[in-house]
Structure 1
Amino acid sequence: MPESRVPEAVTVGGETRTAPGAPRPSTTSAGPFVTTATLQRAASSVLQDVDGLAESVILAITAPLPELVQDPRTAEVFRSTVLDNVVTALRALSTHRETEEFTAPPVALEFARRLAQQGVPITTMLRGYRLGQAAFQQRIIARIAAQDVAASEVADAAMALSSFAFSFIDRVSEQAVTAYLMERDTWMRHRNAVRLARVQALLDGRNSDPGELEAVTGFPSALPMVGVVVWCGRETGESDRLGVLERHLGRLASALDTGSRPALSVAPDDSTLWTWMPCSAVDPVSVADAMGEAPGGVRTTVGEPGTGLDGFRLSHRQARQAQTIALAADPAHARPLLAWSQLGPLALVGAEVGELRAWVQLVLGGLADDDEHCARMRETLWAYLSSGHSLNTAAAALHLHKNTIQYRIRKAEEARGRPLAEGRIDVEVALLACLLLGSTVLRPVVTPRV
């Protein structure tokens, strides 16, 4: 390759000029791109063997990403996508067509839609575009280097090629991503609507075929399963609420140790998932500990494991019942995970929160006041009653002296207005309601004006 520089014809924005000694043309990533005569010649020569280049690009993509071509029909669309993109790019380089005019070939959009339907991650599709870009550039650079031109001209052509390839792939892949996301949204909504209708028919009793249950859930009806409701609020954002919930369900599956067995999930709305997971036992405390902190606004309720159609329906009703209680709690008592087994007698009255509030205040009397003083007495009383009336156990749980426990119990009885022995079971249920719902069932304390 000669060492002296030969004046290069440079095309910028459609204008061709020769400028001996002029600075090298700069490249841009969008808009009118900069090319050189050397790059144009290389692109024109490669265009004569476009099938060979397309094959090398296809191999560079499919070798590390075989999931893109597992389906024979999709593989055919993929080959057409690569060929159309390669031809479009080479023609643009050899004729200096502006990148602003580029649109993804229709077959490329069809390929993106097929990947969305098959559940291939969008990141895999984008990696395929990057691998294809690298293989394309390598072949063109090899053809540039084979020309009898100065090293500086090779560098100019390589820089122009890099800028063009980035701009081209950026525009084409952006359109492919749009097609992918639109198709995924449409496909998921359609698939969810069909599956939700089948699930609703099972829940409502319109279909009682055990075979349909197995077909919908994907696991044997004799296998114990647990119903789950997971939802989020506005603070989670609107862009991908269901995606956030699905990822959270993955953490729940790990905490329940469901292994590789699949779960059934349907979305009754854009911020709620009803789910059934294979599971034989639920320890809500250990599950909550294993899951750790939930994403902002995400909450979960869990029913009891059951089998068959009856278990499928009952566990779901239990999770929905627990959700009613969870939604009734004040923000300070909002739990990221609440199991139906934790509701106790509240499960029988959970749907009537207004009546429950009145009943709690009637049972507890002045002890139902929503202030710190009464809160300490309720905490002490709950520790005492739930420990089987053991002063020592309650004292150890609260890290207090036994005498302090006795003193608070006496004050709690005074606040209530009658002894604990009078309606003791009612007191325990009312205290459980306070523990789970907080201010929702308590009597507001009005601070007198000074």
Structure 2
Amino acid sequence: MSGDYAPGMLGSPDPERLSALTAQIGARLKTDTAAISEGMTAAIEQNMAELDIADMHASLHASVVDNVEVIVDLLAERKDATDLPALPDAHRYAVDLAQQRVPEASLRRAYHVGSNHLLAHIFDQVRRLDCEPQEKLQLYHHLAGWTYQYVDEITRSVIATYQEEQRSSRERAARATEAIVTQVLAGDDVPALQFRAATGYELQQPHLACCVWIDTADPAHPPVALSGVIERLRAALAVPGEALVVSTGRHAADVWFGWSTRRTVDVQAVRPLVDAEGSARIAFGTPDPGADGFRTSLARAHQVATIARVGGTDASRVVSYADDGVPVIARLADDLVDTRHWVRQTLRDLALETDDAARQRETVRVFLKSGSNFSRTASELMLHRNTIRYRLTAAEKQLGRHLTDKPLDTQLALEACRMLGSAVLTAEEPRTAWSPLN
């Protein structure tokens, strides 16, 4: 049991005697609070480089003095360690650290460094007391526990102040960012330096804007943290700088990345992200430079976001205005009733919401996209050429015409089905006798 403490090892202290000795320690420390505070401030700055900030030395020292004077008063007046009065300078320092973005853990550690320094003074005073050695051991144990309680209580209090200031700072920054972004989007002439000062983002550069949101109504995937999705998106796009993020809802944001007009958006590089975060949805605009590009890129992102909002397919979870046919599909998504009717007229039985029709649609889509090349179609779908021929023959029967008839309408309708899914498919089989009025 050497070095371990167990109840009873120090005997049963007399509470009144222990309280009186504690008051003596407090009274003795009162004569030396200025020196204790100076030494504690120096110890914190020497042991924690991130807190050795010239402009904040006075704030740190005021916080230390606040704490030391309260501790000494509590000891001298025989009060509980949790019986804290207001400590305005200690809380002011917590606010200063939050505003300087010094990590929360540093504030917590500062109190432990400070308490170690103070305990050295306390124990020195205990050694000087004229009392029995057993009483000194009991007093050491009591004061160590008392100091731990004080540190636990005060750190919870100042950390709460720190976190509240962080939250308030984020809200103030978000409001300032939203206000100046709104000015730019409205076409106001905002100086680039002013914009950068308010947002930390460079306005006079090429931009790639996107809408990012979490589909909280998706029963198959639980909601994920929007901030985490945006950060992983930045990594997937290999963007070196920070994104500019403006919240548009609890689970939605408009996002801008510094980009290059010579660089295309690789949607395939982003698909693993939306596959892993099943409730995430992303719609990209096009890379465009300057303030005009800042507006244009976002406007195009919003335009194609309709696809991701109404589409129920994997292909619709991440879309880009720059991808072939996507701007047109977005227009079709604006009027689903009319689009569903047009898709049914164009594809006839291929517009059915069945597994068989889906296989046929994909075969025809890939065939037309490949320039009607059987070999490339078979290779992409990993099927035999004869299987491709069989499916295409069956598809022509379902279409009621040759694939070479109305190829553009057919391709566009197939793309609409691929991206919008159930929103434009027909649940019931059309009548065999077909007419435009059906």
- d(CA) in 2 for partners of 1:398 and 1:369? 21
Tell me, yes or no, if structure 1 residue 45 matches structure 2 residue 25. Answer: no
Deviates more, 1:78-87 or 1:337-346: 337-346
Contact 2:353 2:425 in 1 (8 A): yes
Superposition pairs for residues 258-407 of structure 1, below 5 Å?
258-259=239-240, 261-280=241-260, 281-288=263-270, 291=273, 295=277, 297-330=279-312, 333=314, 337-342=318-323, 343=326, 345-407=328-390
Letter in 2 for 1:272: A
Question: Cα offset for 1:201?
Answer: 1.8
Q: Deviations over 1:244-277 (max 9, x none)?
A: 4334323322333332x34322223332222211
What CA distance in whole angstroms lies between the structure 2 residues aligned with 1:125 and 1:336?
42
Query: What is the CA–CA distance in structure 1 between the aligned matches of 2:215 and 2:112, rounded to whole Å?
Result: 37
Is 2:89 the counterpart of 1:85?
Answer: no
- What is the alpha-carbon distance in structure 2 between the residues aligned to residue 215 and residue 125 of structure 1? 28
Deviates more, 1:44-53 or 1:376-385: 44-53
Query: Cα distance 1:196–1:409, how it changes in 2: closer, same or farther (>3 A)?
Result: same
Tell me, yes or no, if structure 1 residue 424 matches structure 2 residue 392: no
Aligned with 1:226: secondary structure?
strand
Report the Cα distance in structure 1 between the residues aligned to 2:215 and 2:140, rounded to whole angstroms: 51
Check if 1:254 corresponds to 2:235: yes
Runs (4+) off by over 6 Å: 5-8, 148-151
What amino acid sits opposite 1:424 in the alignment? Answer: P
Q: Distance in 1 between matches of 2:24 and 2:331?
A: 81
Q: What amino acid sits opposite 2:36 in the alignment?
A: L
User: Are the aligned partners of 2:29 and 2:122 in contact in 1 as well (CA < 8 Å)?
Assistant: yes
- 1:10 match: 14
Which one-letter code corresponds to 2:181 in the other structure?
V
Deviations 1:307-335 (A, max 9, x none): 012211111112222322111122x5376
Q: Secondary structure at the match of 1:97?
A: coil
Aligned mates of 2:14, 2:103 — CA distance in 1:
41
Aligned-partner Cα distance in 2 for 1:172–1:165: 11
CA distance in 2, matches of 1:411, 1:145: 99
SS of the aligned residue for 1:276 comes to strand
Residue 393 of structure 2: which of 410, 415, 419 is its match? Answer: 410
The 3-state SS of whatever aligns with 1:101 is coil
| Residue of structure 2 equivalent to 1:23 | none
What corresponds to 2:435 in structure 1?
Answer: none
Contact 1:367 / 1:415 at 8 angstroms: preserved in 2?
Answer: yes
State whether residues 350 and 398 of structure 2, in contact with CA within 8 Å, keep that contact through their aligned partners in structure 1. yes
Other structure's SS at 1:96 match = coil
8 A contact 1:370–1:442 mirrored in 2: yes
User: Are the counterparts in 1 of residues 81 and 150 from structure 2 also a CA contact under 8 Å?
Assistant: yes
Moved more, 284-293 or 321-330: 284-293
* Residue 437 of structure 1, aligned match among 420, 431, 437: 420
Matched length? 413
Q: Aligned partners of 2:365, 2:414: CA distance in 1, in Å?
A: 6
| Counterpart-to-counterpart distance in 1, 2:370 and 2:343 | 21
Shift of the 270–115 alpha-carbon distance from structure 1 to 2, 3 Å rule, reads farther
Distance change in 2, residues 1:6/1:119 (3 Å): closer
Which of 114, 123, 133 is residue 132 of structure 1 equivalent to?
114
Q: Is the 8 A contact 1:228 1:274 kept in 2?
A: yes
Structure 2: gaps (5+ residues): 1-8, 430-438
Question: In 2, Cα distance between the equivalents of 1:187 and 1:6?
Answer: 50
How far did residue 59 of structure 1 move?
3.3
Letter in 1 for 2:420: L
* Identity over aligned pairs, percent: 27
Distance 2:125 2:112 in 1: 20
Q: Partners of 1:103 and 1:357 in 2: how far apart?
A: 69
Distance 1:407 1:303 in 2: 40
Q: Which amino acid aligns with 1:269?
A: G
Residue identity in the other structure for 1:174: R
> Counterpart of 2:408 in structure 1: which amino acid?
I
* Equivalent position amino acid for 2:362 in 1: E
The answer on whether the counterparts of 1:256 and 1:279 sit within 8 Å (CA) in structure 2 is no
Q: CA deviation at 1:147?
A: 5.6
Following the alignment from structure 2 to structure 1, what is the Cα–Cα distance between the partners of residues 278 and 23?
A: 54
Going from structure 1 to structure 2, the CA distance change for 1:147 and 1:412 (only over 3 Å counts) comes to farther
SS of 1:249's equivalent in the other structure is helix
Question: How far off is 1:278 after superposition?
Answer: 0.9
SS at match of 1:389: coil
1:189 to 158, 162, 171: 171
